[in-house]
């Protein structure tokens, strides 16, 4: 498993993907206090229990420039996590851009969780896992109102979508309970589970926005000889 706490690229991406870039960096780098909504764990050290599951609120971050677009993570999620071949249910989604780029999107567990805030109180289908920090969807409670879908689509990753029968939300990643299958399976090791002392919301953006940014760093209009 990749247990990078920070790579330079995460930092750069967080900086450009965040809505308030400057503030995002400062928080990420200098303020090691847990984000307000995340139940506190021991954030200074990265912990796993004996089953190899994380015990610190965390989220999965993507080194987008390194992703090969193989969709092995997508497959892993449906096969391991959903025990099915139904790709519609994968919580990781791949997107293709030109010039050649593959952009991964998955739930970033944003500290302010707009999806949780808009879930109607009579449903209360979304909650945060206090150990892993993941947003959990209780399918039996979900009334299919799509409020969370709209909230996530507005200015986060747009990973939440509606089930085929139109009745339930899906796409929220529960971090496999703390031992994420996709992270282990990625052949490029571009997925890492990192402690939520960086607010995932800085990484959350629509695939098109991320593609635009990554493209500028991967493909240069001018190069030094």
Partner 1 sequence: MAHGYSGKILEVDLTARRHSLSDTDMKAAEQFLGGRGLGVKTLWARLPTAGTDALSPKNPLMFWPGPLSGLPLAGPSRVTIVTKAANTSPTEPSWPHASTLTWSSVGGHFGPALKQAGYDGLIIEGRADRPVVLVIDEHQVSLRDVGSLWGQPTSVALKQLHSDLGPDFRLLTIGPAGENGVRFAGIISDVKRTTARGGAGAVMGAKNLKAIAVRGAKTVSLHNPDGLRNLRSDIASLLANWNNYANWRRWGTAPLLLSADKAGMLTTRNYREGSWPAVDKLGLPTAEREFWVRHASCAFCPLKCVKTGQISYGPWRGTIAEGPGYSAAAMLGANCGANDFGDLMALIARADELGLDPIATGNVLGFVMDLCEQGLLSSADLDGLSPSWGHTPTLLQLMERIAKRQGVGAILAQGVKQAAAQFGPATVPFAMHVKGQELAGWNVPASHDFAIVYGTANRGGSHQDGASIQEQHRRTFLDALCVCRFVYGAVGTAPYQRALSLATGWNCDDATMLAVGERIWNLEKLFNSREGFRRIDDKLPARFNEITFRTGPKAGANFSAAKQDSLLDSYYDGRGWDKKTSLPTTEKLTALGLDKLVL
User: Contact residues for partner 1 (CB under 8 A)?
Assistant: 65-66, 68-72, 74-75, 78-79, 84-88, 93-103, 187-188, 207-208, 211, 218-223, 225
From the list partner 1, ligand SF4, none, which binds 208 (C-beta under 5 to 8 Å, kind-based)? partner 1
Nearest to 138 by CA among 154, 124, 125, 155: 125
From the list ligand SF4, partner 1, none, which binds 180 (C-beta under 5 to 8 Å, kind-based)? ligand SF4
Burial class, 207, CB count within 10 angstroms (exposed 0-12 / middle 13-18 / buried 19+)? buried
From the list partner 1, ligand SF4, none, which binds 57 (C-beta under 5 to 8 Å, kind-based)? none
- The smaller minimum CB distance to ligand SF4, of residues 60 and 160, is found at 60
Binding site for ligand SF4 (CB under 6 A): 60, 67-73, 76-77, 81, 91-92, 94, 104, 106, 173-176, 180-182, 186, 188, 190-191
Instruction: Label each residue of 64-84 as H, E or C.
Output: HHHCCCCCHHHHHHHHHHCCC
Whole-number Å distance between alpha carbons of 216 and 214: 5
From the list partner 1, ligand SF4, none, which binds 122 (C-beta under 5 to 8 Å, kind-based)? none
From the list ligand SF4, partner 1, none, which binds 16 (C-beta under 5 to 8 Å, kind-based)? none
- The smaller minimum CB distance to partner 1, of residues 98 and 122, is found at 98
Rg (CA), the chain: 17
The structure tokens 């796993």 sit at 48
- The smaller minimum CB distance to partner 1, of residues 44 and 221, is found at 221
Q: How many alpha carbons fall within 13 Å on the CB side of residue 173?
A: 34
Instruction: Label each residue of 199-214 as H, E or C.
Output: CHHHCCCCHHHHHHHH
Q: How far is the CB of 65 from partner 1 (least distance, A)?
A: 7
């Amino acid at each position: 498993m990749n247990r990078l706490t920070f790579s330079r690229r995460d930092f750069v991406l967080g900086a450009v993907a965040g809505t308030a870039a400057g503030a995002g960096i400062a928080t990420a780098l200098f303020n090691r206090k847990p984000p307000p909504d995340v139940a506190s764990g021991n954030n200074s050290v990265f912990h796993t229990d004996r089953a190899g599951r994380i015990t610190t609120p965390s989220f999965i971050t993507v080194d987008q420039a390194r992703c090969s677009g193989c969709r092995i993570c997508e497959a892993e999620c449906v096969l391991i996590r959903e025990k099915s071949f139904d790709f519609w249910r994968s919580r990781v989604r791949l997107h293709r851009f030109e010039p050649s780029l593959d952009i991964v999107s998955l739930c970033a567990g944003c500290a302010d969780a707009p999806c949780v805030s808009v879930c109607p109180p009579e449903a209360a289908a979304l909650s945060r896992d206090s150990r892993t920090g993941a947003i959990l969807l209780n399918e039996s409670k979900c009334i299919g109102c799509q409020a969370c879908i709209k909230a996530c689509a507005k200015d986060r990753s747009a990973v939440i979508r509606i089930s085929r029968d139109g009745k339930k939300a899906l796409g929220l990643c529960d971090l496999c309970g703390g031992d994420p299958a996709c992270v282990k399976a990625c052949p490029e090791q571009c997925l890492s589970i990192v402690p939520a002392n960086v607010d995932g919301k800085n990484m959350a953006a629509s695939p098109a926005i991320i593609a635009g940014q990554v493209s500028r760093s991967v493909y240069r209009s001018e190069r030094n000889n």
